[in-house]
Structure 1
Amino acid sequence: MKKRYFAGIVTSLLLTSSILGACSSDEGTTGKSENVDNVNKMGMPIVKEKIKVDGFGAKFFASQDWNKLMLWDEYEKMTNVDVNWKTTQIEGLVEKRNLMLASGDYPEVFYASAFPKTDLIKYGKQGVFLPLNDYIDEYAPNFKKLLEENPSVKKGVTMADGNIYGFPAFFDPKFDAFHAGTPWIKEDWLKKLGLKEPETTDELYTVLKAFKEKDPNGNGKADEIPWGTGYGINMFINYLRGSFDLNKQGVMNSNLDFKEGTEEFRFVPATDEYKELLKYLNKLYTEGLINQDVFTVEPQQFHAEASKGNVGMIDDVDPKELFKLDGYVGVPVLEGPTGERSYNAVTNGLGNMGMFVITDKAKSPEAMVRWMDYFYSDEGSKMFFMGFEGVTYEEDKEGNFKYLDTITDNPDGKNLDQAVSDYLTWPGGYYPGIVKQKYFQGAEGTEASAQNAKKVKPYVAKDEDIIPGLNYTLEENDEVSAIMTDVQTYINEMTAGFITGKQDFSKWDDYNKTLDKMKVQDYLKIAQAAYDRTKSEK
């Protein structure tokens, strides 16, 4: 789903999303495998004689067994490709995949493994990840069409050596609810306390204060959580970026935006505006207006708490779908202390570029490119998100799809995510493929989410202002990675410190001096040069 997926995106974007490969005419070529004659170029099955493939994937629910899941069982029948899955939960993904690669004991394909571009370049250069250009040209008509129709996406997935090493997640730009949505607020609490939806950051503080102190749930206990999320402090930061005049160029390069009236980069976490945003969050945190475990809580833990109905404002997807809680509406985009009012936590629709990679151990890369390409088609997207007719969904005479009552009103009391996960893998938000509104009926597909997106849309950063990414050379990429790995760790630690009060804001100048010592200015020069190159190429 968007919120949890977007939280993961932003975490990786903070370090690596601006590392987009420069397009090159010297694209890598790929040879054919010994098993190419077994591959059908069109139609199903993908291979004439069944093949077995070792795959690794990240999943949201620990209880899922991908080797017995209907999605993969049915796809195996269609394709003749039998994937033997080894999986890990999303929380342990980075450590697990890194250990596999370091030991050399890695699979033929990595699925939903969210490799950052630094890894795509690194392992592509080493030959561990196969270059996919020629395979895509010959065996991936759906993905090839997507690249042709979206040049910025093609540029985004192409690394500095001219090669494509991964299949991405891509979100249809027409699907507004997947691109822009604010937190959800409990409307009956507002009415009970005689409050209106907040329109400014000051009004939000007043509302949250009332939620904490005036017993809106009426049980005589101070057990309300005014504002909460299970996906970390960046959820709050992203909602407020535009209110504090940050990231007017979107968050594909979330540490960068332009100095006012110029096309010269500044470093967002070092700005006075970022300081003011942190001061605001410090006020909310120290007064108990946001969940105190925001830096450590796991999503499932927060979901269990939120399901009790004691969270006044939730930063997640539609609570009705996720928690079976009625009465939540989208919060407006807030006007900030200097009059800014915009929603800037947006991208060009391109998600993580390393969601599906094929390694040098693959015995039939042609088959696996075809296997993945299906999920960029309408039929593949429908199967991935809707499942199977008569089992998970039904289609009406007008051609509209909807989940069966066993999914939306599960007899065992499961929420939508849980019920869907008995059959499919998309809940949790880690997947390659294309997301279209017609075939996606998770929480972002609800009418409430559509209304939330409609409320946000007038304030969303303009498409022409969004920078999809920067074209770094391999040498620049190495230098940026060397600088930003430590810098991002430091920023995360200090951001948490300032918000919780463990770091005093009187240390802000020292914080900036430390960033300069860590070569942030060198990073800015590299980023500026990459952006200027991009302009000259247009």
Structure 2
Amino acid sequence: MTLREDQRMNKSMKWTSLVLTAAVTAGMVSGCSGEQGASSGSKDATKAGEAAINGTGFPIVKEPLKMTFLTAKAPTTANNWNETMLWQEYAKMTNMNIDFQLVPFDAFTEKRNLALASGDYPDVIYLARMSTDDLMKYGSQGVLIKLNDLIDKYAPNFKKLMDQYPEVKKAITMPDGNIYSFPNMLAPEFTSVRMGAKLWIKKDWLDALKMKEPTTTEEFYNYLKAVKSTDLNKNGKADEIPLGGTKLKDIVSHFKGFFGLMNRGTSHPNVDVDASGKLRFIPIDDRYKELLQYMNKLYAEGLIDKDILPNEKDANKFYAKGAEGVYGAIKITSPFTLMKQSGFVGLGALQGPKGDKLYSEFRPSVNGAGAFVITDKNKNAAATVRWMDYFYGEEGNKMFFMGFKDKSYIEKPDGTLAYTDEITKNPQGLTLEQALVKYVTWPGGGYPGIVRQKYFSGAESLPESIDAAKKAEANLPKEVWPAFSYTDKESEQMVAMSTDLTNYIDEMTTKFVTGAAPFSDWDKYVAAIKKMKLDDYMKNYQAAYDRYKK
């Protein structure tokens, strides 16, 4: 998971400038409130709008209510959510009409930060993409209202999940004891979706090479070498690419568990626990060096795509190349849904050179703490909480992902649900996600709510994805940490240190793998990291970890 932490700022011209800098240069989420939301601390809006709403059932409010949601938009969703069937029908059910102000993902962080800095922000930020530092900062400033009591009274579906899964409450409770958001949740038992993008290998190429499915990193290396030297797609060209992915760092991350690293899941790519039970900074560990040496061997021998993309914006180029059938192994969500390639099988955990066999690429059940927040501009907080809570329950969850019976889905005799032929065999040749656009808005991810296997029909629910998850189940981390939260003082220190550390680690990881930096520079690299206030960084990490354990 990308490290997303926030710069703490004071209300002055200086911090307004820093907001812009952080948004543009670090890709982080920053900002400050305007005069309206500051100085009074967190606001408790438990009684807000109570008289105007119904406690249970629909409609939620007795009189029509209009609200505005600032919303992050994935490129795979409709350009106007107010025209999708999901939100049109839900407006009728609730008597609440939502104006979704859509901002594309790649511009959203800056737009959101500027809105919060200026004080000109709406009732709700939906698909808010807020880190725990964001939540703590804006909550303590009073820009976001605290939801503890509102959840107890008006969110029975979400409260049930918090009671059922204590890790959920821990993940969204800030150091001040308050809850400021509804999260993006992955059902704890839905292993495939928690694994995210998987490592896939082309089964018919394995068969053609008369090789068994790799179970070790060495066997995987041997398979890649065989792919490079064989015309497996039978086109008379040496165009087979052994291993590809959208980003080099993602492939490196996938192999961490095979070298005994990242044993607390993907929310903490740089910190885990060593054999003695102490916190460990992964990028300076000798095992990380061994991992990079393994990756360097693959790259030097031409086994990793030399054109591997530097950023996700160019992912479509990677998908187009994959559609040509040239990859022997790929790190991707689904070869079928993104490249229309069949015949791939997902790999489980590979055993590394020292016997480690951990599938560390595993996400916590709270995948994003700050997916939905209510601002102090909202005069109908109780109704808003009821509006959101529906999607954590069974019926709302089904409607959010599947849409509407006999329109976007059918119910089979055995009670299971399936998308209609319009979605799966679209007469206009649209992909599944393209055909869903007029009904629902879930494609793209990050939404508030919970992803349950029985209602989610994305790539992670395909039979091959479920099979891959079964292979990995025995080797998943025993404990998976959510993102930790920091106090204001800790956060101010952490964001500056994290930016420097992350940028340097990413830069040097690429250089070591590609050979631009020799491994004789390893000690210099470690020394440079330690000079970046690593001791202070780990001290704050320890404090956050200690709070989490409590």
TM-score, normalising length from structure 2? 0.87
Q: How well do the aligned residues superpose, as a CA RMSD in angstroms?
A: 2.4
SS of the residue aligned with 1:168? strand
**Higher mean displacement: 347-356 or 249-258:** 249-258
Shift of the 215–268 alpha-carbon distance from structure 1 to 2, 3 Å rule, reads same
User: Please, which of 351, 367, 380 is the counterpart of residue 351 of structure 1?
Assistant: 367
The yes-or-no answer on 1:84 pairing with 2:99 is yes
User: Please, which of 430, 439, 447 is the counterpart of residue 446 of structure 2?
Assistant: 430
Residue 14 of structure 2 corresponds to which residue in structure 1? none
Cα distance per residue 1:439-497 (max 9 Å; x no partner):
112121122211111111121122xx434455644433333233223222222222222
Q: CA deviation at 1:532?
A: 4.3
Residue 507 of structure 2 corresponds to which residue in structure 1? 493
The yes-or-no answer on 1:42 pairing with 2:50 is no
Alpha-carbon distance in 1 for matches of 2:119, 2:304:
43
Q: Partner amino acid for 2:402?
A: M
Residue 233 of structure 1 corresponds to which residue in structure 2? 248
Q: CA deviation at 1:12?
A: 3.4
TM-score, normalising length from structure 1? 0.89
Does the CA contact (< 8 Å) of 1:322 and 1:415 recur in 2? no
Q: CA deviation at 1:95?
A: 2.6
Q: CA deviation at 1:530?
A: 4.0
Q: CA deviation at 1:152?
A: 1.6
Residue 311 of structure 2 corresponds to which residue in structure 1? 296
User: Please, which of 305, 309, 312 is the counterpart of residue 325 of structure 2?
Assistant: 309
Does the CA contact (< 8 Å) of 2:162 and 2:169 recur in 1? yes
Cα distance per residue 1:364-413 (max 9 Å; x no partner):
22221111111100011101111111111111222111111222222222
The yes-or-no answer on 1:481 pairing with 2:472 is no
Shift of the 34–378 alpha-carbon distance from structure 1 to 2, 3 Å rule, reads closer
Q: Partner amino acid for 2:156?
A: P
Cα distance per residue 1:158-196 (max 9 Å; x no partner):
111111111111111111212236311111122223333
Identical pairs, percent: 46
User: Please, which of 286, 309, 324 is the counterpart of residue 272 of structure 1?
Assistant: 286
Alpha-carbon distance in 1 for matches of 2:496, 2:410:
51
Q: Partner amino acid for 1:460?
A: L
Shift of the 219–11 alpha-carbon distance from structure 1 to 2, 3 Å rule, reads same
Does the CA contact (< 8 Å) of 1:59 and 1:425 recur in 2? no
Alpha-carbon distance in 2 for matches of 1:15, 1:207:
43
The yes-or-no answer on 1:398 pairing with 2:426 is no
Alpha-carbon distance in 2 for matches of 1:97, 1:115:
10
Q: CA deviation at 1:13?
A: 6.2
The yes-or-no answer on 1:521 pairing with 2:535 is yes
Residue 141 of structure 1 corresponds to which residue in structure 2? 156
Alpha-carbon distance in 2 for matches of 1:201, 1:436:
32
Alpha-carbon distance in 1 for matches of 2:293, 2:430:
39
Alpha-carbon distance in 2 for matches of 1:345, 1:422:
33
User: Please, which of 376, 379, 385 is the counterpart of residue 363 of structure 1?
Assistant: 379
Alpha-carbon distance in 2 for matches of 1:86, 1:513:
47
Residue 189 of structure 2 corresponds to which residue in structure 1? 174
Q: Partner amino acid for 1:282?
A: N
Moved over 6 A (4+): 13-16
Q: Partner amino acid for 2:360?
A: N
Alpha-carbon distance in 2 for matches of 1:164, 1:241:
33
5+ long unaligned stretches in structure 1: 1-9, 17-26
Residue 61 of structure 1 corresponds to which residue in structure 2? 75
Does the CA contact (< 8 Å) of 1:212 and 1:289 recur in 2? yes
Cα distance per residue 1:77-111 (max 9 Å; x no partner):
21122111222332333233223323333222111
Residue 356 of structure 2 corresponds to which residue in structure 1? 340
Does the CA contact (< 8 Å) of 1:322 and 1:416 recur in 2? no
